[in-house]
């Protein structure tokens, strides 16, 4: 699809948000529930489909397979037949700071961070690159090339080691990049320290405590004290996404996340258009890199099927679930590759923005494709 087929939106919260992960909790045994953020793409996709029904004054409580055809052809074409997909496609979510898009930092980046002042400042940025050394024997469980840290010096990528007395750089998980920083990464370079944005600059975790109630006695239940970690976005920060095959009405409100907190629907810049403006053309006879902007679902595990992967940085699986409105039950949990996961591939990219491969309609597996970095020798 072309950029004109997509329209950009944002959700602006009116209050705190809470989003559960896929792990089960047991009443009386689990007392602290921490919100994940950003939410899973399927959570946002479910809001969009539900909002399309609300726009037509559909009573969700009365919905059933038998009554679904009465919704009308237009809405069924967009949201799909009962339990199926329609024309509606989503990309996202990502963070917006005003109109500036913030994307998860690629996880092949490692950061040395100064926290002495009470704030977080990135001092050094290291990028993991496939090793050029040929190991004598492969004594591990996969055929991927190991990776080694490099830094940029005078426009050159050189191997790097931690200076004596310094801590090793840590994962970039939980950090975000400006679009300029992502453009640098996609071009095969290393983003500068000033192009990183901490999650603390975008939202605050707000702890609240409540008690379980005994419905028979109308008083608090024993051993039912709960603490929730809600998400409060900072001023001008919102959740961005884009749609194709359907539209939303800007200016309306939607109910989102746990406790159905209100969020305003507004127009927003298109990520796809911003990415195309980067104009990062592939380098001939050299492979490419791919970074997951949203979590990805791969049937075979952590590696995309049909791609010739040279190296990868995938920290582990996250459990993605959700609620199945059609069948009124939780969706089966699936292992997803987290946003920020990186793949070094041998083949040439088809486009700078792609979707791989399962539930891409819901926004999973949104990938940005860039050049593979080149080392400088001599």
Q: In the numeric block, which tokens belong to residue 340? A: 């920020």
Mean predicted lDDT score pLDDT of the chain: 86
Q: Quick one: three-class SS letters along the chain?
A: CCHHHCEEEEEEECCCECCCCCCCCCCCCCCEEECCCCCCHHHHHHHHHHHHHHCCCCCHHHCCCCCHHHHCHHHHHHHCCCCCCCCCEEEEEEEEECCEEEEECCCCEEEEEECCCCCCEEEEEEEEEECCCCCCCCCCCCCCCCEEEEEEECCEEEECCCCCCCCCCEECCCEEECHHHHHHHHCCCCCCHHHEEEHHHCEEEEEEEEEEEECCCCEEEEEEEEEEEEEEECCCEEEEEEEECCCCCCCCEEEECHHHEEEEEEECCCHHHHHHCCCCCCCCCCCEEEEECCCECECCECCCCCCCEEEEECCCCEEECCEECCCCEECCCEEEECCCCEEEECCCCCCCEEECCCCHHHCCCEEEEEECCCCCCC
Q: Are strands 288-292 and 196-198 parallel, antiparallel or unpaired?
A: unpaired
User: Which of 225-234, 307-316, 341-350 bottoms out in mean pLDDT, i.e. has the lowest?
Assistant: 225-234
Give the residue with greater pLDDT, 28 vs 323: 323
Q: Are 189 and 129 in contact (CB under 8 A)?
A: no
pLDDT band at 117 (very low <50, low <70, confident <90, very high): confident
pLDDT band at 77 (very low <50, low <70, confident <90, very high): very high
Report pLDDT digits (tens) over 31-61: 557 778 999 999 999 999 989 888 888 888 7
Per-residue pLDDT at 216: 64
Report pLDDT digits (tens) over 271-313: 999 998 887 766 666 789 999 999 999 988 899 988 889 999 9
Q: How far apart are CA 149 and CA 147, in angstroms?
A: 7
Phi-psi region at 154: left, alpha or beta (left = phi > 0; alpha = psi -120 to 50): left
Q: What is the mean pLDDT of residues 151-157?
A: 87
Q: What is the mean pLDDT of residues 201-223?
A: 69
Q: How far apart are CA 356 and CA 349, in angstroms?
A: 13
Q: Are 163 and 177 in contact (CB under 8 A)?
A: no
Residue with tokens 């004054």: 57
Q: How far apart are CA 193 and CA 152, in angstroms?
A: 12
Give the residue with greater pLDDT, 10 vs 224: 10
Q: In the numeric block, which tokens belong to residue 19? A: 């989003």
Q: Are 29 and 225 in contact (CB under 8 A)?
A: no
């Amino acid at each position: 699809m072309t950029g004109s087929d997509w329209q950009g939106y944002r959700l602006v919260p009116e209050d705190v948000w809470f989003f559960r992960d896929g792990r089960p909790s047991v009443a009386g045994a689990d007392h602290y529930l921490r919100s994940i953020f950003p939410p899973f793409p399927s959570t946002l996709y479910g809001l969009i489909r539900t909002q399309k029904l609300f726009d037509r004054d559909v009573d969700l409580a009365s919905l059933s397979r038998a009554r679904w055809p009465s919704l009308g052809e237009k809405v069924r074409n967009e949201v799909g037949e009962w339990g199926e997909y329609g024309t509606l496609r989503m990309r996202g979510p990502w963070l917006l700071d005003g109109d500036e898009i913030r994307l998860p930092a690629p996880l092949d980046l490692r950061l040395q961070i100064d926290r002495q002042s009470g704030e977080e400042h990135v001092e050094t940025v290291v990028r993991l690159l496939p090793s050029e050394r040929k190991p004598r024997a492969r004594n591990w469980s996969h055929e991927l090339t190991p990776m080694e840290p490099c830094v940029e010096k005078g426009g050159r990528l050189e191997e790097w080691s931690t200076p004596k007395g310094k801590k090793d750089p840590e994962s970039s998980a939980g950090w975000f990049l400006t679009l300029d920083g992502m453009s640098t990464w996609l071009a095969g370079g290393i983003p500068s320290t000033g192009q990183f944005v901490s999650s603390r600059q975008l939202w605050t975790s707000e702890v609240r405590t409540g008690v379980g109630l005994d419905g028979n006695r109308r008083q608090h239940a024993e051993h039912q004290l709960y603490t929730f970690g809600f998400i409060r976005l900072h001023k001008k920060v919102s959740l961005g996404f884009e749609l194709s095959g359907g539209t939303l009405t800007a200016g309306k409100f939607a109910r989102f996340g746990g406790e159905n907190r209100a969020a305003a629907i507004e127009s927003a810049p298109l990520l796809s258009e911003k990415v195309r403006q980067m104009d990062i053309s592939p380098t001939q006879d050299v492979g490419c890199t791919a970074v997951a902007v949203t979590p990805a679902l791969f049937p075979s595990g952590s590696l995309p099927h049909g791609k010739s992967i040279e190296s990868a940085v995938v920290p582990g699986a996250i459990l993605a679930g959700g609620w199945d409105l059609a069948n009124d039950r939780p969706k089966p949990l699936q292992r997803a590759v987290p946003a920020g996961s990186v793949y070094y591939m041998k083949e040439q990219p088809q486009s700078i923005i792609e979707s791989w491969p399962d539930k891409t309609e819901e926004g999973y597996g949104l990938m940005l494709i860039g050049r593979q970095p080149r080392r400088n020798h001599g």
